[in-house]
């Protein structure tokens, strides 16, 4: 059956006449394009902000590091150091000079061979064969392998554009490596200290080492005390380089003159210094001493003519010797001088007027009992009513105590200070310092100090003090420098003698000199005295203090004196530490003193006066 359909149109404007669109259907193509543009713009802004932040990070925060890395690619800085001043003897011989050596370096980025190939090729040429290694091939092999490993490690470090491989390369080693024609290897010349006379005057010279900054620094002796005078000025030059490390031709370098250090001329003579060192070494071997010292001074000027200590060392190889060898014992080590100190006690007594040469000692008949201490003479022999001149000749301890009692503590210590005991000598050597001087004196201290025990001094203080007696009572400052030469200013600066004071009167000094001559002629060392020249001298055999008591077996033997007596040309101190052939100075230090003096008479052209 057919169904009829009817159409009923909806009137216009009637509710429900239009279907409401969905929200997604409201976006037009224009709006969608606008949204995408904005998103892309924000993304671009965000990326730009990230780029700016990154640029700020690299260009501002890490600017210095990046700039340094960039400059390292094309810039190089070279330091030029002026040569250190030379040190010479008064007669023109060079003791310290400068020798050229080379620094071997590599630029790994331009090398064509591998680090292993380079290290294996050059290590055998760089081994410094010592005398000990020459007799032991295994040591040479071990040194070569060690050097090869070190070079390989340095060359294998990533990112290194320049690396030092070895210092102090000799000219022979440089030529051998140059002949290999290895790209990327190069040499820089610099100078090191050279010692033409080996160990001669080592304790006077000192040596040059490195400070904490890796720079050359003088230590001990002249090198230490005059480091600023000797040191040359440095200059740093920075230039652009190409990929192979060569200086670019269009980059002009500013030429800056390099200033070398000043030269120093010593007061010692080469022939005298050699003679003294050889004689000292022979004497130490002959008498079985563990060490010894000799110092010779011109009493009129204070100039040191020679100074030697043994054992010594080679300044160029200072690192191979025990550190205790480096200090100069004559100025750095204190000792109890023993009977050579009696000269000062007698001089103080003569000058103060409490004694004269023929004063009778009223307390010399027996040993002296001072509290719990008994003080004896060196041979336990006593001489009642002995005169002072005989007391000095016989080295009588009780006679010295007698003089000290007459002087009293105040005058006695004042004279010691006038003689410079306890004070620095101000000689131009780094180790010179004051020595302890007792503040609180008891009578036992006064007594023992009068004959040189219980009081500390140095060899340089003693020779300065006795030098005053040889120089009419005037004490001169010891000096080891004759002049300084400044090549830049083309000038020479002489060192003038310095008088430090009138210790005793000229008359007192003359009388003490006569008493010392009598002691040299009549004392225990008379058997070795000179038959041709007058000598004013005194022996000393001092006990060595150990942990609150004195060593009963070992001594320090010494002899101090000047010659000729009336017009002294030199004053000399000889000291032997722990001689084994005899503990007495009259049998060890005295004959060594006269042996050296006999040679000095010829070297200094001193005519005979006896």
Q: What is the pLDDT of residue 43?
A: 78
Angle between helices 115-126 and 171-178 (to 10 degrees): 150
Range from 304-308, 505-509, 531-535, 545-549 carrying the lowest mean pLDDT: 545-549
Q: What is the pLDDT of residue 444?
A: 95
Q: pLDDT tens digit string along 242-274? A: 555 555 545 555 555 668 899 999 999 999 999
Q: What is the pLDDT of residue 71?
A: 55
Long-range contacts: 406-412, Cβ < 8 Å, 24+? 406/349, 406/354, 406/355, 407/348, 407/349, 407/352, 407/354, 409/441, 409/446, 411/348, 411/352, 412/345, 412/348, 412/446, 412/449, 412/450
Q: What is the pLDDT of residue 76?
A: 54
Out of 50-54, 134-138, 470-474, give the one with best mean pLDDT: 470-474
The DSSP output letter for 515 is: H
Q: What is the pLDDT of residue 7?
A: 44
Please provide residue 516's backbone torsions phi and psi, each rounded to the nearest 5 degrees.
-70, -35
Q: pLDDT tens digit string along 515-526? A: 999 999 999 999
Q: What is the pLDDT of residue 233?
A: 75
Q: What is the pLDDT of residue 16?
A: 44
Closest CA to 76 of 258, 189, 244: 244
pLDDT at 240 over 70: no
Q: What is the pLDDT of residue 578?
A: 96
Closest CA to 384 of 352, 416, 361, 415: 361
pLDDT, mean of residues 128-140 = 79
pLDDT at 15 over 60: no
pLDDT at 406 over 90: yes
pLDDT, mean of residues 529-543 = 94
Q: What is the pLDDT of residue 546?
A: 83
Q: What is the pLDDT of residue 10?
A: 46
For 24-53, give the secondary structure using H, E and C.
HHCCCHHHHHHHHHHHHHHHHHHHHHHHHH
Range from 173-187, 337-351, 393-407, 461-475 carrying the lowest mean pLDDT: 173-187
CA 523, 525, 530, 531 torsion: positive or negative?
Answer: positive
Q: What is the pLDDT of residue 116?
A: 93
CB 576 within 8 A of CB 292: yes
Q: What is the pLDDT of residue 255?
A: 54
pLDDT, mean of residues 188-211 = 93
Q: What is the pLDDT of residue 235?
A: 59
Q: Which helix (H) or strand (E) holds 173?
A: helix 171-178
Query: Domains in the chain and their CATH numbers?
Result: 101-196 (3.30.70), 270-315+329-603 (3.40.710.10)
pLDDT at 234 over 90: no
The more confident residue out of 352 and 210 is 352
pLDDT, mean of residues 206-221 = 91
Mean pLDDT of the chain: 88
Tokens representing residue 391 in the block: 């007391």
Q: Largest Cα–Cα distance of the chain, in whole Å?
A: 182
Q: What is the pLDDT of residue 314?
A: 95
Q: What is the pLDDT of residue 62?
A: 63
pLDDT, mean of residues 318-336 = 95
Q: What count of residues does the chain have?
A: 610
Predicted confidence band at 52 (pLDDT cuts at 50, 70, 90)?
A: confident
Q: What is the pLDDT of residue 245?
A: 52
Closest CA to 74 of 238, 189, 235: 238
pLDDT, mean of residues 62-75 = 59
Neighbour tally for 514: CB within 10 Å:
14
First to last CA, the chain: 180
Predicted confidence band at 22 (pLDDT cuts at 50, 70, 90)?
A: very low
Range from 10-19, 163-172, 501-510 carrying the lowest mean pLDDT: 10-19
Q: In the chain, what percentage of residues exceed pLDDT 90?
A: 71
pLDDT at 488 over 70: yes
pLDDT at 325 over 90: yes
User: Which residues in 438-464 are b (16+ Cβ under 10 Å) and which e?
Assistant: eeeeeeebbbbbbbbbbbbbbbbbbbb
Predicted confidence band at 40 (pLDDT cuts at 50, 70, 90)?
A: confident
Out of 163-167, 236-240, 436-440, 497-501, give the one with best mean pLDDT: 497-501
């Amino acid at each position: 059956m057919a169904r009829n359909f009817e159409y009923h149109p909806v009137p216009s404007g009637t509710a429900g006449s239009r279907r409401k669109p969905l929200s997604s259907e409201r976006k037009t193509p224009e709006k969608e394009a606008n949204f995408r543009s904005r998103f892309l713009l924000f993304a671009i802004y965000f990326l730009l902000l990230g780029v700016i932040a990154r640029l700020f990070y690299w260009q501002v925060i890490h600017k210095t590091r990046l700039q340094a890395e960039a400059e390292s690619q094309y810039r190089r800085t070279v330091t030029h150091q002026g040569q250190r001043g030379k040190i010479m003897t008064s007669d023109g011989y060079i003791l310290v000079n400068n020798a050229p050596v080379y620094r071997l370096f590599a630029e790994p980025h331009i090398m064509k061979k591998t680090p292993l190939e380079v290290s294996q090729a050059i290590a055998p040429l760089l081994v410094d064969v010592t005398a000990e290694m020459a007799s032991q091939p295994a040591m040479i092999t071990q040194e070569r392998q060690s050097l090869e490993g070190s070079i390989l490690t340095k060359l294998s470090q990533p990112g290194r554009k320049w690396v030092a491989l070895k210092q102090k390369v000799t000219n022979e080693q440089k030529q051998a490596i140059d002949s290999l024609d290895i790209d990327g290897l190069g040499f820089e010349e610099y100078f090191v200290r050279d010692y033409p006379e080996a160990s001669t005057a080592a304790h006077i010279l000192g040596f040059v080492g490195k400070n904490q900054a890796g720079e050359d620094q003088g230590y001990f002796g002249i090198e230490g005390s005059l480091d600023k005078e000797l040191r040359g000025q440095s200059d740093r030059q920075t230039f652009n380089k190409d990929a192979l490390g060569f200086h670019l031709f269009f980059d002009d370098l500013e030429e800056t003159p390099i200033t070398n250090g000043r030269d120093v001329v010593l007061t010692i003579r080469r022939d005298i210094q050699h003679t003294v060192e050889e004689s000292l070494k022979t004497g130490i071997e002959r008498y079985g001493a563990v060490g010894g010292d000799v110092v010779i001074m011109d009493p009129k000027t204070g100039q040191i003519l020679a100074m030697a200590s043994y054992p010594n060392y080679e300044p160029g190889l200072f690192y191979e010797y025990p550190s205790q060898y480096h200090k100069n014992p004559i100025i750095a080590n204190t000792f109890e001088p023993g009977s050579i100190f009696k000269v000062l006690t007698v001089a103080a007594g003569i000058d103060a007027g409490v004694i004269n040469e023929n004063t009778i000692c009223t307390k010399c008949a027996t040993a002296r009992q001072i509290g719990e201490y008994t003080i004896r003479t060196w041979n336990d022999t006593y001489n009642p009513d002995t005169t002072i001149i005989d007391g000095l000749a016989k080295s009588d301890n009780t006679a010295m105590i007698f003089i000290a009692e007459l002087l009293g503590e105040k005058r006695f210590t004042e004279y010691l200070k006038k003689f410079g005991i306890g004070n620095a000598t101000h000689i131009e050597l780094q180790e010179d310092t004051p020595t302890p001087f007792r503040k609180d004196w008891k009578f036992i201290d006064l007594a023992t100090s009068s004959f040189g025990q219980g009081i500390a001094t140095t060899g340089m203080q003693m020779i300065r003090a006795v030098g005053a007696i040889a120089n009419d009572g005037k004490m001169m400052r010891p000096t080891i420098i004759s002049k300084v030469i400044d090549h830049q200013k083309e000038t020479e600066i002489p060192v003038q003698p310095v008088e430090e004071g009138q210790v005793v009167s000229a008359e007192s000094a003359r009388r003490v000199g006569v008493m010392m001559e009598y002691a040299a002629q009549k004392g225990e060392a008379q058997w070795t005295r000179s038959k041709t020249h007058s000598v004013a001298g005194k022996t000393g055999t001092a006990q060595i203090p150990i942990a609150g008591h004195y060593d009963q077996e070992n001594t320090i033997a010494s002899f101090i004196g000047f010659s000729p007596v009336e017009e002294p040309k030199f004053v000399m101190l000889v000291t032997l530490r722990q001689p084994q052939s005899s503990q007495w100075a009259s049998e060890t230090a005295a004959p060594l003193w006269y042996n050296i003096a006999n040679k000095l008479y010829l070297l200094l052209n001193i005519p005979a006066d006896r």
